[in-house]
Structure 1
Amino acid sequence: MVDASALLVILLLVHVLLGFWIPRYSSFQPPHRFSQKVIINLLIAGIYFVAFTLVMILLRDDDAFAWKAGLLMAIARFLTLILTPNSPKSPTLALLSREAVLIISLVAVWLVCESNIAKLQVSLAKLLTLPVLAVGLAYVTMLRPASALISTILSPWIKEIDKSGSLANAGTLIGYLERLLILTFVLLEQWEAVGFLLTAKSILRFNEIQNAKVRSLSEYVLLGTLLSFSLSIAVGLLVTYILKPH
């Protein structure tokens, strides 16, 4: 039998292969009736049941638990397909929701199989330390709280900006990624990477700065970029100070 860590990796591999490589019902002509959709989703859930049951039978000598594990994964797959369909407005949220439910179910199967629930509780207790919580809070702050602060600071100039031709919510996502990357680089003390990121963004905006018609937009983007960088660096330095032994 494989060890516990290898079993978890195998279960994740099976999930990835089934979830992203086998043809999904959306790849075919979409069913017009709810009953057709239910039948197709039941077939996909059945594939999950067979696959995970066989894996558990082959890797763990416990047939009774194997079919229960397969049944749990099949139910999780069916519910995610029914309750979180692809939405044109928020496909990313739908995808993340489905994967979160399935991975939680998969980890639950692994924990029960390996009797690791007590060990997990001990590990989680050890993780709840000041450094881990400080880093976690810093990353969470770089998302919506930071965006709200930057938007508030830039609000006096928002009416002067022509955003025609911009992708919807692209600026918000760019800001998220930008601040998360900067925070990571600061925590790792990779200041060269911070400089490279600032240079790369400046080059991308060079053509806009050269055009006098969009000078206000360029200045607005520059303000936002400097605020984003300053806030990320400040939070990163604060967390670094907290993590250093005194």
Structure 2
Amino acid sequence: MIILLKLLLAHLIGDFGLQFKKWVDHKRKYRLKSGYLYLHVAIHAVATLLLLWPEISRNLLYLWIPAIVLVTHFMIDAGKLMLRKSSSKNASSWDTAREQILFFADQFLHVLVIFGIWFWVDGGAMVQISGIVSQQNLLLLLCLFFLTQPAAIIIKILIAGWLPKNESKEKKTLANAGRYIGILERLFVFGFVVSGNWSGIGFLLAAKSVFRFGDLKEKEGIKLTEYILIGTLLSFGLAMLVSILYLKVRISL
């Protein structure tokens, strides 16, 4: 496990701690011709080498790990640069979505390489991973996933008949903001209940009331206010119900 933690730390240092906006902009513009690309991957290799030096000093065969990190990081970053736009000016919603997809795909591939290295050098890695995939962890994953998109769809269907017709297409809000706010609030509620911090739910509800309902008083939209209130209470209630069921079922596992 120590090797995995060191590899992840080296990745965070190289990709976030020691990579600056100037470098990112230069790489986006010049792509494979940017010297910052090669400096960036070199930093990853050096960070990996320094953090793994105690293991390397005991076994020189571990020297191949920084080399693998160097080569794979260059290949992944080069592929991302070739797929992204050279300039972020006048970016459309699709361009923004593509940047998000490329970012998470890039990070996923880097982490996948890190886990691959860990599996190769640590013979007990698979045993440790099998312990992670337990019934309790699968139950936790199931509950967390249910509280995201599935719960959002259920709540939307339940209150669909009460949506005021003149407010069905509100143009002054961020796209899908309400859906993501609902997902985040349910996950927060789940965390509060599971950790036994019920008072946190009251704080969360009060904070949402201030920010969400405060801008409705000027619209004289009583129906819209009631619609949002019903949705909020359903969201909180569903999250608390799932949380309590999780705690009950987890005990029996």
Query: Would the TM-score normalized by the shorter structure come out above 0.5?
Result: yes
Q: TM-score range by the shorter chain?
A: 0.7 to 0.9
Is the CA contact 2:147–2:186 (under 8 Å) kept in the aligned structure 1? yes
| Alignment partner, residue 158 of structure 2 | 153
**CA distance in structure 1 between the aligned counterparts of 2:5 and 2:241, rounded to whole angstroms:** 40
Is 1:21 the equivalent of 2:20? yes
Of residues 192, 196, 217 in structure 1, which corresponds to 2:224? 217
1:131 equivalenced with 2:129 (yes/no): no
Match of 2:70 in 1: 70
Q: Is the 8 A contact 1:49 1:74 kept in 2?
A: yes
The Cα offsets for residues 13-68 of structure 1, whole Å up to 9 and x where unpaired, read as: 233234x436334368x64xxxx53433xx44422442333345552344455423
Structure 1, unaligned runs of 5 or more: none
| 1:39 equivalent in alignment to 2:38 | no
Tell me: CA distance 1:110–1:127, structure 2 relative to 1, closer, same or farther (3 Å). Answer: closer
Distance verdict in 2 for CA 1:73–1:109, change over 3 Å: farther
Distance in 1, Cα, partners of 2:64 & 2:211: 59
Instruction: Look up the equivalent residue of 1:71 and give its one-letter code.
Output: V
Q: Is the aligned partner of 1:81 residue 2:81?
A: yes
- Give the alignment partner of residue 111 of structure 2, picking from 94, 103, 107: 103
Q: Does 1:52 align with 2:52?
A: no
Q: For the residues of structure 1 that align with 2:4 and 2:105, how far apart are their CA atoms?
A: 25
Alpha-carbon shift at residue 225 of structure 1 (Å): 0.3
TM-score by length of 1: 0.81
- Say whether the 8 Å CA contact 1:48–1:73 is kept in structure 2: no
Q: How many percent of aligned residue pairs carry the same amino acid?
A: 21
Counterpart for residue 234 of structure 2: 227
- Work out the number of aligned pairs and report it: 233
SS of residue matched to 2:246: helix
Check 1:241–1:84 CA distance in 2 against 1; reply closer, same or farther (3 A cut): farther
Q: In structure 2, what is the Cα distance between the partners aligned to 1:207 and 1:11? A: 43
Please provide the CA RMSD for this pair: 2.8
Question: Where does 1:192-207 land on structure 2 (aligned, <5 Å)?
Answer: 192-207=199-214
Q: 1:182 to 1:78 in 2, by over 3 A?
A: same
Query: Residues of 2 paired with 1:137 and 1:149: CA distance?
Result: 16
Match of 1:92 in 2: 100
8 A Cα contact 2:45 2:69, kept in partner: yes
Q: Distance in 1 between matches of 2:102 and 2:81?
A: 10
Moved more, 214-223 or 51-60: 51-60
Distance 1:139 1:39 in 2: 43
**CA distance in structure 1 between the aligned counterparts of 2:173 and 2:48, rounded to whole angstroms:** 50
